[in-house]
Amino acid sequence: MKSVLADAKTAAIVSLIASSPIFDAGDAKDYYELGRIIGRGSYSIVRVAIEKTTRVKYAAKCIRRNNLSLDDVKALLVEVSVLKQMNHRNIIKLHQVFAEAEFFVLITEFVEGGELFDRIVEKTCYTEREARDVVKSLLEVTAYCHTNNVVHRDLKPENILLVNRDDHTSFKLADFGFAKRITVDSEGLVTACGTPGYVAPEVLMGKPYGAGVDIWSIGVITYILLCGYPPFHDDNRPRLFAQIKEGAFHFHEPYWDDISESAKDVIRQMLTKDPKHRPTADALLHHSWIAGGEVGSVQLDNALKELRQFNARRKLKATTIAVLSTVAFGVRSGSLGTSDSFRKRLASNGIDTNTNHVEKKVERSEEEEKKKAPTTEL
């Protein structure tokens, strides 16, 4: 029976690929020299790719086909179609896409600055103005997406990649795996997705939602940028979701003492529980904190200290997932989705086995949460 289902899945995926115009002919290795590994995910690795004719450096994201469900492949096709149509200085550019026998390979522009938070914590001087500049750029690229009827749905620090190590305001927005086309002034999305801690309350409540979910996520990122810790946090998933659904957060002393009231106001607006009263990205770009020139230049020592601790915990969790995934990456079809031993190893290290997918039913017990299979990180 399993063999029949596997054959049916393979046939359906082959049919999807054949009917899609997004794939380039041949294999990636026909056009690129694939080099060292520069990143890992639960189902993918990222390699340096040098184009043979031009010697231009790119990044090759290699996603093992056997580990993807039919829905995963459909989501990948959505991500690719969205990226192919996006043209903005702050969105990572997709160059080519290949459907090989074992892998889907996405060739994107190469950015070498690393994740935004990684660079900020290396700084010795960090001010509110620098945080504002990042938020402004993030709102600009989000406004562009929304104008083009695209909702990202998974805005988080890991998806903000710096072009180089010297400028932490020049970044590329990556990972459109959860992106969805929608008439932005509507609330027509219902799929529960996103990353815990950054997901909007209306998603957790199972309500139809729209572009406001991206604004909420930017609000969380802005909060972290200014104080170094998240507005909603609990290691217990149901309790975290309960906090977010309640929508209550605080500006604690002494961490917020030196932060301007204007900055606090823009956060309150972005983290408005009711999405109908949450401003758009365009509207926020006219807020005094974003558009004005007078922004605090006080050194945020407490924020930098807290951000280093927050980032260290975040990176430890990501590293643990990557290390455990390395073993599973080479295992054949379906193993990541069904392996109890893999899930138990994640759980034993305090890693949620569903870190890239939000559950509608937050009342689910912790034991039930641990039994869920990990979802694909596209």
Residue 61 annotated as binding site:
yes
Please check the confidence at residue 58 and state whether its pLDDT lies above 70: yes
- Architecture of the domain made up of 2-109: 2-Layer Sandwich (3.30)
* Strands of the chain, DSSP E: 32-40, 44-51, 57-64, 94-99, 103-109, 114-115, 150-151, 160-162, 171-173, 180-181
pLDDT at 180 (0 to 100): 66
Q: Is the dihedral of CA 365, 200, 257, 118 positive or negative?
A: positive
Residue 178's SS3 state is coil
Q: What is the pLDDT of residue 79?
A: 80
| Topology classification of domain 127-160+174-306 | Transferase(Phosphotransferase); domain 1 (1.10.510)
> Catalytic residue at 154?
yes
- Tell me whether residue 253 is exposed, middle or buried, using C-beta atoms within 10 angstroms of its C-beta: 0 to 12, 13 to 18, 19 or more: exposed
Average pLDDT over residues 259-277: 96
Residues of the chain above pLDDT 70, percent: 76
Answer yes or no: same fold for 2-109 and 127-160+174-306: no
Q: Between 185 and 38, where is the model more confident?
A: 38
Check whether 168 has a pLDDT greater than 70. no
Among 121, 209, 129, 128, residue whose Cα is nearest residue 157? 121
| Given 72, 118, 154, 214, the catalytic residue | 154
pLDDT, tens digit (0-9, with 9 covering 90-100), for 213-259: 999 999 999 999 999 889 998 889 899 999 999 999 999 998 899 89
Q: Where are the domains of the chain?
A: 2-109, 127-160+174-306
pLDDT band of 192, cuts 50, 70, 90 = low
Return the structure tokens found at 288. Answer: 């005094």
Contact 74, 12 (CB under 8 A): no
Contact indicator for 84, 24 with CB cutoff of 8 Å: no
Q: Which amino acid is at 327?
A: V
Instruction: Let me know: does 296 contact 128? Beta carbons within 8 Å.
Output: yes
Most confident of 119-133, 177-191, 267-281, 322-336: 267-281
pLDDT number for residue 281: 98
Label residues 304-343 b or e (16+ Cβ within 10 Å = b): bebbeebbeebeebbebbeebbeebbeeebbbbbeeeebb
Number of helical H runs and strand E runs in the chain:
14, 10
Mean local confidence (pLDDT), 250-275? 94
- Whether residue 108 is predicted with pLDDT greater than 60 in this model: the reply is yes
Q: Rg of the Cα trace of the chain?
A: 21
Whole-number Å distance between alpha carbons of 94 and 109: 7
Most confident range, picked from 119-133, 147-161, 293-307: 147-161
- φ/ψ of 343, rounded to 5, equals -65, -40
* Better-predicted residue by pLDDT, 77 or 249: 249
Question: Does the pLDDT at position 109 exceed 50?
Answer: yes
pLDDT at 331: 44
Q: Across the chain, what does the average pLDDT equal? A: 80
